[in-house]
Amino acid sequence: MLRIPADEARIGGRWRRGAGAPAPTVDPATGRVLTTVHAVTAEEVAEAADAAARAAADPRWRELPPHRRAELLHRVARLIDEAADELAALQTADTGKTLAETRALVASAAGTFRYTAAAVETAEESITPARGDYVTMSAYEPIGVVGAINPWNSPVASDAQKLAPALAGGNAVLLKPAEWTPLVSLALGRLIGRALDELGLPAALLSVLPGRGSVVGDAIVRDPRVGKVTFTGGTATGRTIAHAAAEKLMPLSLELGGKSPTVVLADADVEQALAGVMFGVFSSSGQSCVAGSRLFVARELYAEFVGELVERARALRVGPGTAPDTQVAPLVHHDHRDAVAARVDLAREEGGRVLCGGAAPDGAAYRDGAYYLPTVVEGLPNSSRTCQEEIFGPVLVALPFDDEEDLVAQANDSVYGLACGIWTRDHRAAWRIARRIEAGTVWINTYKQFSISTPFGGMKDSGLGREKGRDGIRAHQRQKSLYWGT
């Protein structure tokens, strides 16, 4: 039985109802209201920031050696494992995702805490060789209070990616979930709160602050006690936050949008490429920052490949995230489904041919849910809005290319630079193209594989900075150089 956490925010380490406006959270598979979450106000953000600054400076936390912070992270990982079924069910209800996906995201969240615990336990500071009559050392110190702002598409995994390194770095965190999906972040806040209590650590090391971005998110970014913001979301929001951060000269990490190319060369293993391209754009119903939403196929293979792709896209089973055979679940919200539908209308207006999908599915079973069929469009130039702008839904636009120069020019002709996938049997071609594509991550003969130990982030309008990897902890610290004379 799914338990929805009580409608309370965690403000300065204490649970209480936010004093801001109530907002219903809706199950996108049914349109049913799950619960009503009250937003916090800007004043409550200030209260949480004040408590967080005191918690970060509390000797119980400040003087805890880094390897002891690892204990907190291990404990959180264990609590996530114990609550895994409940967290997965809650995330499926809140985001619409399939249970298979939310189970994997919960496991990845626990893995992130475990990896980060191991990384902080074994972190070393370096003494540099003397260049004179002294030695120098680089020390890493906590920033103090970190603001973590997340989107709605994979809340539990993105929360873990922000919370684990920020806590491992010795900071307190103000976590702001997205308006449409606050429930898993609130549930995770309960687990972390329990771990803090059990270890006798300050409760205000974590606040979870639901509410609107323009109020709660903005108050977090502008608060003078917040020394870093780690943000994942849209490029326009990232730019707004960067402007506010510039006023404070505050470091930022920005994981933003994408319009990632998937590339199929003429010699590719067609089965492998079809599976990878389909997974790249239709898994998570396309609501993934790295969705491979622009497909480039070598002209000689184009008709055959796209024909087969369309057949398979038509055969995908669309249904609720709770049904074990569902392959494409509803979108996160009815408003988002309508926005995706409007994007496909625009593709038609631009002269695109919709080869499959292009509508919500028919039938009573789909009537109340935020469903949209897997869609493939062709016949548009790379300069069209459909090819240039992020749709964040199950919509693929297919284009042929003539040769490597043509491919690289088209693939790089985008404001974004988040990810790319290449399918070929020619490892030299894969290497050449991978090095020429402007993207933070390039997958070769695979797609959407993630390792917590491999840095992740974007180029160009897809972001600033990198998350994950051992350096993820350093990104939440300040470096200090110490000199000893002899």
Of 179, 255, 390, 438, the catalytic one is 255
Rounded distance, CA 450 to CA 250, Å?
29
Q: b/e map of 20-49 (b: 16 or more CB within 10 Å)?
A: beebebbbbbbeeebbebbbbbbebbbbbb
CB of 364 to ligand NAD, least distance (A): 30
b/e sequence 366-399, b meaning 16+ C-beta within 10 Å: beebbbbbbbbbbebebebebbbbbbbbbbbbbb
Instruction: Tell me whether residue 390 is one of the annotated catalytic residues.
Output: no
- Which residues from 416-445 bind ligand NAD, rule CB under 6 A? 418
Contacting ligand NAD (CB under 6 A), which of 390, 423, 430, 442? 390
* Nearer residue to ligand NAD within complex by CB, 114 or 336: 336
**Residue 242 Cβ, how far from ligand NAD at the closest point, in Å?**
10
Q: Which stretch binds ligand NAD (CB under 6 A): 17-25, 67-75, 215-223, 357-365?
A: 215-223
Please answer whether residues 162 and 148 qualify as being in contact, where contact means their C-beta atoms are separated by less than 8 angstroms. Answer: yes
Residue 264's nearest CA partner among 464, 426, 140 is 426
Minimum CB distance to ligand NAD smaller for 170 or for 238: 238
The window from 105-113, 144-152, 298-306, 351-359 that contacts ligand NAD (CB under 6 A) reads 144-152
Among 122, 214, 454, 479, binds ligand NAD (CB under 6 A): 214
282-313 as b/e, with b when 16 or more CB fall inside 10 Å? bbbbbbbbbbbbbbbbbeebbeebbeebbebb
Residues within window 149-178 making contact with ligand NAD, judged by CB under 6 A: 149-153, 176, 178
The binding track of 289-328 with respect to ligand NAD, each residue x by CB under 6 A or -, is x---------------------------------------
- Least Å distance, CB 210 to ligand NAD, is 9
> Would you say 284 or 424 has its CB closer to ligand NAD?
284
Question: Which of 179, 223, 438, 461 forms a contact with ligand NAD (CB under 6 A)?
Answer: 179
> Rounded to the nearest 10 degrees, what angle do helices 155-168 and 183-198 cross at?
30
Residues 6+ away with beta carbon under 8 Å from 140: 123, 125, 169, 473, 474, 477, 478, 479, 480
452 binds ligand NAD (CB under 6 A): no
Stretch that binds ligand NAD, among 18-26, 145-153, 292-300, 358-366 (CB under 6 A): 145-153
Mode of pairing for the β-strands spanning 395-401 and 375-378: parallel
User: By CB under 6 A, how many residues form the interface with ligand NAD?
Assistant: 29
- CA dihedral 101→29→161→460, nearest 10 degrees, is 100
Report the site for ligand NAD in 180-209 (rule: CB under 6 A).
none
Q: Tell me, residue by residue from 454 to 483, as one string, x for binding to ligand NAD by CB under 6 A and - for no binding.
A: ----x----x--------------------
CA 467 from chain centre, in angstroms, equals: 10
Q: Which of residues 225-284 bind ligand NAD (CB under 6 A)?
A: 232-234, 237, 240-241, 255-258
Distance CA 205, CA 255 (A): 24
Secondary structure (3-state) at 208: strand
The smaller minimum CB distance to ligand NAD, of residues 258 and 369, is found at 258
Q: How many CB atoms lie within 10 A of CB 19?
A: 13
Largest separation between any pair of C-alpha atoms in the chain: 81
Indicate which residues carry an active-site annotation.
Answer: 255
| Residues forming the site for ligand NAD (CB under 6 A) | 149-153, 176, 178-179, 213-214, 217-218, 221, 232-234, 237, 240-241, 255-258, 289, 390, 392, 418, 458, 463
